[in-house]
Amino acid sequence: MRALAVLVGLIATLVGSYGGYRFIHAVGPENREGEFGFGDSAVTPPGGGTLLQSKNFPVVVKALKKELGAEGRLTYLNLKLTEASGTGKRADGREVSVQIDASGRSRANETGGDENLTATLPLSKLDPAAIDTMVQAARKETGVPVEELRLQGSSREWTVEMLRGTPDSFIANLDGGGLRLSGEENPEPIGASEDSLLRAKNLQKVLDAAAKEGDQLIDIDVRPDRVSVQLKSGETRQLQLSYGYDAQLTGREIAALGDNLPSIKLSRFDAKAIERIAKSEKVKDLGNIQYVLLRPQSVFAEELGLATYLAKDMDPTYVSSDLHGRHITG
């Protein structure tokens, strides 16, 4: 009888163990191979290779559009061999932090930074071809691999970090071209680029935005990548507005109004003036313009006009004109 009892106990134990295994299998952790960060695919792009290749960058763009929406905008992106991370804004203004593995799987968290005035880059402007362009150029310069790429949405420039050696980093334009050391002049001037704020269609958007804040222009500083506008705000104050690409407001400050500051109606500032100046014999191209300021046309005249400052190697280095970009002298 004792032997029979032992046998029954063993059988019961085995049945209990099997039942426990079935229970754990039913309610325990499932196979997470298809989730962000899990499995071999987390470190291997679908096309093989790494994320620092144009053929694989589309999985990163697709993940960003999934988390930020097709109309989302990018603040910052960090691209490594097997992963990417960044921040951006959804169409409703909510700021989101995104992590992406090599397969393109992602996860996102809202950061609560929707009041940040930092300029951003539309996801639609991300060009996969740019990756190979700058990686190949950087390797040609140094002979060593690229370790990571970082994109700043406000400046629309890439930073290329090398694995080792000297130099250990470069700057490149949004399209991957213009590789250079930090501080070096851009070999592909952005003044003539499609996004340049020197272009009438882009500058007009800035002027339209500023017009909602006031109509008395004290000063304006127009550069390819940013515009500063100073307006009278009442009788005793002035408002300084800063805009980035796409007329995005990046700064807003109120200060006491200075003494004897001349001003003009904002509507008198001609958005097409800079393009006219660029076509003149003395300037020749938008790419030759560094910045444009609102200044008296001469020391002998109070009438305000434009002072256009040109590339350092040009002669003259600046020209003056009226508010419409005509009657150019220099």
What residue spans define the domains of the chain? 35-188, 200-321
- Mean pLDDT over 104-112 rounds to 91
Q: At residue 287, what are phi and psi to the nearest 5 degrees?
A: -65, -15
pTM score above 0.85: no
> 247-304 pLDDT, tens per residue?
999 999 999 998 778 889 999 999 999 999 999 999 999 999 999 999 886 655 668 9
Which class for 161: exposed (0-12), middle (13-18), buried (19 or more C-beta within 10 A)?
Answer: middle
- 306 Rama sector, left if φ>0, alpha if ψ -120 to 50, beta otherwise: beta
**What pLDDT, on the 0 to 100 scale, is given for residue 113?**
62
- Given a cut of 50, whether residue 3 has pLDDT beyond it is no
Give the pair of three-digit tokens for residue 190: 């952005």
End-to-end CA distance of the chain: 117
DSSP string, 251-288: EEEEEEPPTT---EEGGGS-TTHHHHHHTSTTT--GGG
Measured CA to CA in angstroms, residue 162 lies from 37, 71, 135, 166, 183 at distances of: 25, 32, 9, 9, 17
- Residue 5 binned pLDDT confidence (cut-offs 50, 70, 90): very low
Structure confidence at residue 116 (pLDDT) = 67
Higher-confidence residue: 326 or 235? 326
Residues whose CB falls within 8 Å of the CB of residue 218, separated by 6 or more in sequence, listed in order: 230, 231, 232, 238, 261, 262, 263
Among 100-109, 111-120, 284-293, which is the least confidently predicted range? 111-120
In the prediction, which pLDDT does 100 show?
97
- Cα–Cα distance for residue pair 14/2, rounded to 1 Å: 19
- Cα–Cα distance measured from residue 188 to residue 156, given in angstroms and rounded to the nearest whole number: 14
Task: Report the distance separating Cα 304 and Cα 136, nearest Å.
Answer: 48
Which has the higher per-residue pLDDT, 22 or 64?
Answer: 64
> In the prediction, which pLDDT does 29 show?
53
Q: Is the pLDDT of residue 13 over 60?
A: no
Per-residue pLDDT reduced to its tens digit, 157-206:
999 999 998 999 999 999 999 999 999 989 998 999 999 999 999 999 99
More confident residue, 111 or 37: 111
Which tops the pLDDT comparison, 90 or 117? 90
Average pLDDT of the chain is 88
pLDDT of residue 1: 45
